[in-house]
């Protein structure tokens, strides 16, 4: 149930894709400090739900009310291949105009040594760190992360979860689609087929 502290409210949400109802009647709220995992079998509509929450795709029914800025990171971090990491973050910092500095983002996410490497040359774990740095640059209270742990080794998973936990501790919240267990206290929304 939504409260005054809700960052996001979802009411009676339904999603129909390709003539098929993926889900209907989805209802939840997200408050500061919440980590909400969305889980369920392949193809049930988890990524579709996250895209609706991000405002990238329309719902078929119901409502999403975001009361704060959101930052979305898709299943495959979309980075311009020929841009350097620094240039990529600089581009997004200009769009977000949040006042957060690229140099801080590079330092926080361990990207200093990669700053002038083209994004096409990054490893999977490094790409995911850049994607998270981009979320941080947006200064968004709510992060929407699609499969952020895929392909990460233990150190990469620990670093990513530490960044998410720091975000929660600073009054943020995160909704995470994941097939892998989140190594932190969280609520779970299971989409059933
Ligand atoms: N625009 C679209 N048109 C037609 N079908 C679509 C569209 N978008 C998604 N789908 C279908 O909706 C279903 C749900 O896709 P989605 O990516 O949301 O599932 P998911 O739960 O995230 O799956 P996975 O766990 O495999 O990543 C799939 O069958 C997919 O093919």
Q: Are strands 142-146 and 173-177 parallel, antiparallel or unpaired?
A: parallel
Domain that includes residue 178, residue range: 32-55+69-190
- At 108, which CATH number? 3.40.50.300
**CA of residue 45 to ligand 1 center, whole Å:** 5
Could you read off the pLDDT of 133-177 as tens digits, one per residue? Answer: 999 999 999 999 999 988 888 888 888 899 999 999 999 999 999
Residue 3: pLDDT over 70: no
12 found inside a domain: no
Alpha-carbon torsion, ordered 176, 177, 181, 183, to 10 deg: -10
25 found inside a domain: no
Could you read off the pLDDT of 82-125 as tens digits, one per residue? Answer: 999 999 999 999 999 999 999 999 998 889 999 999 999 999 88
Mean pLDDT of 41-52: 95
> Is ipTM over 0.85?
yes
What pLDDT does residue 1 have?
Answer: 43
pTM of the predicted model as reported, rounded to 2 decimal places: 0.91
**CA of residue 43 to ligand 1 center, whole Å:** 5
Give me the numbers of helices (H) and strands (E) for the chain, helices first please: 5, 8
Residues making up the chain, counted from first to last: 193
9 found inside a domain: no
Q: Which of 13, 47, 59 to mutate to test the pocket of ligand 1 (most atoms within 8 A of CB)?
A: 47
108 found inside a domain: yes
111 found inside a domain: yes
What pLDDT does residue 5 have?
Answer: 73
**CA of residue 122 to ligand 1 center, whole Å:** 27
What pLDDT does residue 2 have?
Answer: 46
Tell me which residue of 91, 68, 92 sits closest to 167, measured CA to CA. 68
Could you read off the pLDDT of 12-39 as tens digits, one per residue? Answer: 999 999 899 999 999 999 999 999 999 9
27 found inside a domain: no
Residue 193: pLDDT over 80: no
**CA of residue 178 to ligand 1 center, whole Å:** 15
Q: Number of structural domains, the chain?
A: 1
User: Which residue puts its alpha carbon closest to atom 2 of ligand 1?
Assistant: 17
């Amino acid at each position: 149930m939504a409260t005054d502290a809700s960052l996001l409210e979802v009411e009676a949400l339904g999603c129909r894709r390709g003539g098929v109802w993926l889900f209907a009647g989805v209802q939840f709220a997200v408050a500061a400090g919440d980590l909400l995992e969305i889980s369920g079998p392949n193809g049930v509509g988890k990524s579709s739900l996250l895209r609706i929450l991000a405002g990238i795709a329309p719902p078929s029914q119901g409502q999403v009310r975001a009361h704060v800025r959101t930052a979305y990171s898709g299943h495959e971090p979309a980075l311009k291949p020929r841009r350097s990491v620094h240039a990529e973050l600089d581009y997004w910092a200009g769009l977000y105009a949040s006042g957060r500095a690229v140099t801080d983002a590079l330092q926080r996410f361990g990207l200093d040594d990669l700053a002038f490497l083209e994004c096409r040359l990054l490893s999977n774990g490094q790409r995911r760190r850049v994607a998270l740095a981009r979320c941080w640059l947006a200064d968004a209270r709510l992060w929407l992360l699609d499969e952020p742990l895929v392909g990460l080794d233990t150190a990469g998973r620990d670093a990513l979860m530490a960044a998410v936990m720091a975000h929660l501790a600073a009054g943020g919240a995160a909704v995470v689609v994941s097939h892998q267990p989140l190594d932190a206290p969280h609520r779970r929304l299971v989409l059933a087929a």
